Amino acid sequence: MVVNLKTNMRVKPSVHQTTGTDYYMIQTTGLNDGFNSFSIGDAGDKVVDIYNNSQVSGTAGRYGPFIINNNAALICLDAEL
C-alpha cells in the first residue's frame, strides 16, 4: 500500500504497529484475506510503501480495499532523527 505523506520526512520512516492474528485484511473478489503485520518497502521524503508478502495469499495483480479488523490495531510512521 502506498502512503502519501502530508509532511516531508527528513529520514526514512519506520513503521510502529500493533500486531495480532488477522488484525488487518485485504478484501479481494468477495474474500477477506487476514494478515498480522506490515513491513516498509521503498520510502522517500513524501511517499512510503508498506506491505505484507508472507501472510497474504491470492493471485498476483489483484487488489482490494485495506481493512483494519481489530480495535487494537494501530499503524504509525515515525521519522525522528
- The Cα 25–Cα 69 span in angstroms is 6
Kindly state the cell numbers that stand for 23: 488484525
Considering the chain, what is the average pLDDT of its residues? 87
Stronger pLDDT, 18 or 52, i.e. the higher one: 18
pLDDT at site 4: 92
- pLDDT, tens only, 34-73: 999 988 888 888 999 988 888 888 777 778 888 999 999 9
Q: Which is it for strands 39-43 and 31-35: parallel, antiparallel or unpaired?
A: unpaired
The whole-number average pLDDT for the span 10-20 is 90
